[in-house]
Every structure is written in structure tokens, then in C-alpha cells.
Chain A
């Protein structure tokens, strides 16, 4: 089975890798590019731990083939903190203790950022439905929702 050469942009950097055509983008990110911030919870699109954006759209990287990344622009959790400074969402997750084991956290942060990029002033209901595909087995969600709402307020300059 021959591998396919893929050129793509990950976190604003042009990268290349060889992918088995059956390999998911998630596996390519983790195993070929050593970007292990993106997690695998289920591998079947149910948990959202593998959330990344492809050309600005939030997706489960376990439901994308690595070869589909050819020519695309991908952003992962590794691009969230800029120049060593945490993103407001990341800071608020720490402040609100919105994580315990932390396995779901990268996916939830990436998903929440995608929401706030297009909806800076979401209602709590919007946040809950937007994040319905991100499962967390530890927190009970409440602190996550509060952290996202608080980060949104701060980013709007309303806090």
C-alpha cells in the first residue's frame, strides 16, 4: 500500500508528511507531526477530543483523512497560546477549574474558540448546544460553560 505525500499548512507553517490513505488527520497530526495536543477519545466522531479547524471550519480530525489535508489550512490547540501568553479561554479554564483530567480540554478549547470567533456574545444555551459534541467525563460541564461565558465577556471587553 503506497503512501501519499501531503503538503498542508498547520498552525501557519507549511508542513509535509507521508500518509497511508486510510490514516486519519488525527493520526497524522499526532504521529507524523508530533502535535499531540489533539486527543483521541473515541475515534468515531462522538467525543470531540480531536477537534481542530480545517479551513476555518470546526471538525473532528478523527473523521477526516490525512490525505484530505492536502492544500488545507489547519489549526490545532498548539496555536492557541500566542508568544507564550495563554488565550483568554485557556486562562479562564484555569481560573474556573474547568478541567480535571484535562483530556477533553484541548478539543473543548478549540471548539469554544471557533464559537467565539463567529459569535462573540453567545447565550449560555448557544454555548451548551455548540459544545454538545464535546464530551467531558470529569467536570459535569458547568464550570466549562462558565469559563467560556467569562472568557467571551472578557474578550468583548465587557468583564
Chain B
């Protein structure tokens, strides 16, 4: 295996483009090293991105946008009080990934590109309307988070392309988000179902919302019908019920040892209701 640690994105892209054989990018390594150990992946070329300037930065710009570097760990996100205040749902999703030790290394982009439908950090990013900057042989493009996963273990990135940053939109004054997952214990497990909701309020009415589900389909799914059910409302019972029904209708889960399809569909609705209520409280500036 060749190991490279380029010091610019251009050099990293060039290396990836020129690479022959199995190529992997290395940030936190908490997926790829496990896959190597299990014999699932045997990279010929490993491109460590951590020497590229800016990959450890997590910055809020003057317009309120957040730009998060691709090697920022879960622990570093959790320690960023301003980011937690703006996007608690995004951060709580990431912080559910793995142990303290894993949190010291694991990254949002790694979780995204691992392509698991159960990835805990991805629904929160999708609900937030986050995008990623992708560099490749044909230049730079900005891609919505939900357009990156292509199915379990697969992404839509082409050979030679790499994600160079994550961008979160400005939070604004009265927005709130939340991510909840169901696992049969309280820690160190993979989501049976996950649900993230992001709302923006004007007065006490929701003016925009995004809802994303994890582990109920081959990829993370966005459910615009569920968001439509609560937009224009103050999240009254009727709106919540319509939202829950839309969430359940969007579920196409498999049955496996972690839960049956029926159970997952039911729990998705339960989590959506709770996440919506918490997102709303956060949007109102309450501690939740």
C-alpha cells in the first residue's frame, strides 16, 4: 500500500485521479481501518487528508454559514459551543457515533461517505440543508448531502473526486433542529431507526421544515410530505398526526435482527413526533 499525505486538495485530487487499484481517503480511519482489518477492503493507495490546511477548521462566517473541515472529529464538534448552539441536532447525531475513543477521530464526512443507511450524523445534516463541496478532475461542485449516498456502502462521487468541506446554512434567529435514534440500549449501538427534524419559526408558526429518516431505506430519506404537514402550523396535534402518517408512509425498511419492518415503521413515527417537539422548543430558544 502506498501512503500519501498531500498538503493541498489539488494534490489530493491528483493523487486520487492517478491512483491505480483500490484507493481510500483517510481522515479519522474509524471505518476504513476496521474494513482493512476485516479483509473487506485492501487499499493499494491511501490518501491521508489531515495534512491539508483547513481540514481541522470549523468556522462561522459573517453571514452565519458554517464551514466545517473534513477532518474535524466528533469530539471537536461537541466542544464547539457556538456550533452546538446553532445546530444541536447536527452535533448530537455525530456524537452518537461510537465510543469516546472513536469520537476522538471519527468525522462527519467519513460517516457520510461510509454510506450506511443507519449513519447517525447524516439525517441531521440532511435536515439542516447542509451541502458538501466536492473537488475533482472537472473542478468544484456543491452537492446536497442527500445526493452523496447511493446505497449501502456506496456514494455518487466519481473517481478522483473528494469532499473538501461541509457547509451548513445560516441558522437565523428562530430555528431549531433535533436528531433522535432508537437503539435497544443507551450507548454503543447502531440506529434501528433515526430521525432528524429542522424547523424555522416566524412567531409561533413553522415557516419551513425538513425531515430526514435513517435506517428505514437503502439510503437516508428526505420526507417533504411530512415537512409539508407541519409547515404553516404551530405543531398542533392534527399537524403532528399528519406528519407522523407521512413519515411512516415514506419508510421502506428491511426486517433484520435489529428490528422488523413493522417495528421500524412504527418507531419512525414516534421519533418524528418527539424530534419535532424538541426542534420546536429549541427554535423558541428553550433549552431542550
Contact = CB atoms under 8 A, between A and B. Distances in A.
Interface of A: 1, 4, 21-22, 24, 43-45, 48, 51, 54, 57-60, 62-65, 67-68, 111, 114-115, 129-134
A60 B102 contact: yes
Contacts of A43: 37
A64 to B, nearest CB: 6
B34 A65 contact: no
12 contacts: A44-B37, A45-B98, A58-B101, A60-B105, A62-B37, A63-B101, A64-B33, A68-B50, A129-B187, A132-B99, A132-B100, A132-B187
B50 A65 contact: no
Nearest to A107: B101
A60 B37 CA distance: 14
Interface in B97-122: 98-102, 104-105
B29 interface: yes
Interface of B: 1-3, 26, 28-30, 33-34, 36-38, 46, 48, 50, 73, 75, 98-102, 104-105, 187-188
Given A44-B34, A65-B29, A68-B48, A59 B101 contact: yes
Contacts of B188: 132-133
Contacts of B33: 24, 45, 62-65
B105 A64 contact: yes
Contacts of B75: 57
Most B-side CB within 10 Å, residue of A4, A44, A60, A129: A60
A21 B46 contact: yes
Contacts of B187: 129, 132
A1 B101 contact: no
A130 B102 CA distance: 11
B134 to A, nearest CB: 24
Contacts of B36: 22
A28 to B, nearest CB: 13
